[in-house]
Structure 1
Amino acid sequence: MAEGVGPVTDRSVDGSLTARLSALMFMQFFIWGAWQVTLGLVMQTVGIGNLIGNAFSMGPIASIVGSLLLGMVAVRYVAPRMLMVILHLVGGVLLYLLPTLLTPEKGGTFVWLLLGYMILYMPTVGLANTIALKSFGDRTDNFPFVRAFGTIGWIAAGLIIGWAGLSASPKIFWVAAVVSIALGVYSFTLPAVEADKPQGGSVLAQVFCVEAFGLMRQKSFLIFILCATLISVPLAMYYAYASPYVGAAGIENVSGTLAIGQMSELVFMFSMPWLYRRFGVKPLLLVGMAAWALRYALFAIGDGGSGLWAIYLGVALHGVCYDFFFVAGAIYVGTIATPKGVNAQAQGMLTLFTYGVGMLLGSQIGAMIYAQLPATPTIADWQGMWIYPAVAAAAIALLFQFTFRDDRRKETLA
């Protein structure tokens, strides 16, 4: 039997296993949170703000490319923990090199190397989940507790970067590099869960989620996927441009301020299963989309003076924005797909459309809007920019309200 793996009894889960997996999640998301939160501010500071949209397009592209490579080759032949070792060690080297390219002359090369790094990093998010879930066996109810340490790691990264005064410094990549190499070494000690075995059908059919696409024959599911993709467009603008906006408002600890969003995410995360059972999917998704519209409206009136409260409130809404839509959406997909035996494919398809297609479009559209701003935007310039995603999110929420029907919930209540 593989180390750390096997049928987990109903009596208890080994406390040391939980601690090991919690450390895994903490470092996994610390790496990402250390550089992603204030990358836009860093790029604007070094004079390559015009490339922010392209840089934030690399994550969505990597989500697609990395998943294809992992699904077609590596995950079937290499144990997940060894993939974690390889990807994080090599990724740590690339992270260390990235700051040397953060100049106006080398900005284009920086974006391409960032893509190379993200192709290595993005598959490790799924690998970390796989290792944790397989290690727990039937006791998957322990997973939310362990996954919460990922959010805590993201928060810790933001607070440390902000406390150290590195929010606008290229050194954020060196902080991430140290933890990436540490996680690569630590991954040698992770439970040796086995690689996935082919489940029948062609590899390409499974990688491209062919069976899951059949779920779109249900009108409600099709509308959900459409709206999930659309709402990811304005979402991308938050990830790319929130940090330079907060910096323009005169807030010095940009990274620490944006970490408030992840703190609120942590609060709502554990209540989501109960809220889903109590209210159903439509109210939660609608609240999530409306929260995005409200957040951007707050950013459109926020400034460094009397409107500072609007910025803090807009950041704090992240828990509602993210959990009420993306966490509730993942639960909804599971309820639709699990009875048909295609849950893994359906979740992959949701990720493809949201973090892939939606955020790629959002990064590029955001770049076009940002290009209309001055080289050094004032807070008034930023306020005008946030009107566009506010209107878009409100329109998507209205589209969802008038077209989506949760027939599954009606059948349950009947």
Structure 2
Amino acid sequence: MNFLQFFVWGAWLITIANYWFGTKQWDGTQFGAIFSTMGIASLFMPTLMGIIADRWVNAERLYIGLHLLYAVCLIYLAQVTNPDSFFTVMLLAMCCYMPTLALSNSIAYSSLTKGNHDLIKAFPLIRVWGTVGFIAAMWLTNLTGNKATEYQFYIAAGGSIFLGIYAMFMIPKCPPQHLTKENAKLSELLGLEAFKLFGNYKMALFFIFSMFLGAALQLTNAYGDVFLSEFAFYPKYADSLVVERSTIIMSISQISETLFILAIPFFLKRFGIRNVMLFAMIAWVLRFGLFAYGDPSSGLWMIILSCIVYGMAFDFFNISGSLFVETSTDSKIRSSAQGLFMMMTNGIGAILGSQVSGWLIDKYYTKPFDTLAGLATRLETSTDNPKLLDFIAGKGVQITNGTFDSAIYLKDWQHIWLAFAIYTLVIVIAFSILFKHKHDPKDLENTGH
């Protein structure tokens, strides 16, 4: 279940930018809106589906239905021909998919508990197969030549249909637990009691930083693969491994995740929750900074190292942040508080990051080129290079006396990544100054971590 759960996401999440910018050639501001659909859906759908699973419908039935609907949305998405409709269909797809992340965890916890398994020991070994599934989907999309085609959505849809059918016959029943009192207040029913945590200075500060860092979490998922693919515009890099197998290179990030998960207990016990979160933020600065100066030849090591530090950047903040919430809140609102943490990172933070980055890149870091000489200089080649002329022809642009009949737009990736690096560096400095949390090893023992 975990393998397929993330397979159907990994088949398109990293490569959709190649489809958007390369095949469809739609603009960057609209692409930011596409990635914000995950955040919009995360604001309300997991909570809504959680209430339904808690009170009325078996979790596994809801899970099956949502995955089949997700598949239908993806099949239709592959046939959409304009960006506005694409946004609408993608939002519907995310409204179906995002709740299944929480439902898959609920189903796993329920099944493991019934089998008398130790959740702390058993679940991580199961959850890691989700990352394996994500990597497998990335490799399949790349190796089949579909990282810039609509078939990436068909691959994901096929996996989701298979998962739905598999779940019908193989996943144990998870009936409603009716844990919420019938006469509960609406705020309690919706998990809004956790918002009282904003009255606590330390918790409010933590959630605000979660939102700002959440804005950075999806940036490399959104733009990483297309960044590597666009090295094909440079004749000297056009045939490089990085260009041909960009998605596989990016999958090093997910492989790194599986390794850093194993290192988390050591770092938490040695350095404490606050410092581990700080390490994660520093890793984000390195992630973006290394991308800024990396290239497919002499700078290949920077690209590889950037993918490796991603594991620390992603895992250390998400897990240590979740643990901070676990050890700092009352048990009565702990689940709601965890939901609030996810809403601030994957909801509000993701929406802000996607929308602002899309606008920023389109407004300040996408440059037009009107002449052959100007483009050749930018791409570090000669005006008569056959690969350059093939690239121009592929854009459908005609050349008259060295001038293009329509502009060719290129992104200034180095300054894009540097802008993101500076943004996360500001977060690091502010967090280190403002957020104080004393490390107590007993916190880890009390929660069983």
Tell me if both proteins adopt one fold, taking TM over 0.5 as the criterion.
yes
Q: Look up the equivalent residue of 2:355 and give its one-letter code.
A: Q
Q: Look up the equivalent residue of 2:362 and give its one-letter code.
A: A
2:25 counterpart (30, 39, 47): 47
Query: What is aligned with 2:386?
Result: none
Query: What is aligned with 1:398?
Result: 429
Query: What is aligned with 1:124?
Result: 100
Kindly tell me: are residues 84 and 71 of structure 1, through their superposed partners in 2, closer, same or farther at Cα, counting changes over 3 Å? closer
2:73 counterpart (64, 84, 94): 94
* 1:167 partner SS: coil
Correspondence 1:300 to 2:292: yes
Q: Look up the equivalent residue of 2:339 and give its one-letter code.
A: G
Separation (CA, whole Å) in 2 of partners of 1:369 and 1:207 = 39
Separation (CA, whole Å) in 1 of partners of 2:189 and 2:145 = 42
Separation (CA, whole Å) in 2 of partners of 1:128 and 1:64 = 18
Separation (CA, whole Å) in 2 of partners of 1:357 and 1:282 = 22
For the 8 Å contact 1:206–1:345, the answer to whether it is kept is: no
Separation (CA, whole Å) in 1 of partners of 2:317 and 2:44 = 25
For the 8 Å contact 2:54–2:180, the answer to whether it is kept is: no
Q: Could you tell which deviates more after superposition, 311-320 or 67-76?
A: 67-76
Separation (CA, whole Å) in 2 of partners of 1:307 and 1:378 = 20
Correspondence 1:156 to 2:136: yes
How far the C-alpha of 1:257 sits from its partner, in A, is 1.4
Q: Look up the equivalent residue of 2:32 and give its one-letter code.
A: G
How far the C-alpha of 1:340 sits from its partner, in A, is 3.2
- Find the structure with the greater CA-based Rg: 2
Query: What is aligned with 2:57?
Result: 78
Kindly tell me: are residues 369 and 412 of structure 1, through their superposed partners in 2, closer, same or farther at Cα, counting changes over 3 Å? closer
Q: CA RMSD for the aligned pairs?
A: 2.0
Query: What is aligned with 2:405?
Result: none
2:176 counterpart (179, 195, 199): 195
How far the C-alpha of 1:132 sits from its partner, in A, is 0.3
1:334-345 equivalence runs, <5 A: 334-337=326-329, 339-345=330-336
Separation (CA, whole Å) in 1 of partners of 2:304 and 2:131 = 19
Separation (CA, whole Å) in 2 of partners of 1:63 and 1:184 = 21
Q: Look up the equivalent residue of 1:330 and give its one-letter code.
A: S
Separation (CA, whole Å) in 2 of partners of 1:306 and 1:344 = 48
How far the C-alpha of 1:199 sits from its partner, in A, is 2.5
Structure 2, unmatched stretches of 5+, are: 233-242, 369-407, 445-449
Query: What is aligned with 2:217?
Result: 235
2:187 counterpart (199, 205, 208): 205
Query: What is aligned with 1:388?
Result: 419
How far the C-alpha of 1:191 sits from its partner, in A, is 1.0
* 2:440 partner SS: helix
Q: Look up the equivalent residue of 2:197 and give its one-letter code.
A: L
1:174 counterpart (154, 157, 180): 154
Separation (CA, whole Å) in 2 of partners of 1:203 and 1:240 = 39
Kindly tell me: are residues 207 and 255 of structure 1, through their superposed partners in 2, closer, same or farther at Cα, counting changes over 3 Å? farther
* 1:374 partner SS: strand
Separation (CA, whole Å) in 2 of partners of 1:300 and 1:73 = 45
Q: In the TM superposition, what whole-angstrom CA distance separates every residue of 1:128-187 from its partner, at most 9, and x where no partner exists?
A: 000001111152121111111101100111111111121111110000000000011111
Q: Look up the equivalent residue of 2:69 and give its one-letter code.
A: V
Query: What is aligned with 1:324?
Result: 316
Aligned pairs, number:
385
Separation (CA, whole Å) in 2 of partners of 1:298 and 1:412 = 35
Q: Look up the equivalent residue of 2:119 and give its one-letter code.
A: T
How far the C-alpha of 1:221 sits from its partner, in A, is 2.1
Separation (CA, whole Å) in 2 of partners of 1:412 and 1:349 = 21
Structure 1, unmatched stretches of 5+, are: 1-23
TM-score of the superposed pair, with normalisation by structure 2: 0.81
TM-score of the superposed pair, with normalisation by structure 1: 0.88
1:361 counterpart (342, 352, 363): 352
Separation (CA, whole Å) in 1 of partners of 2:53 and 2:112 = 23
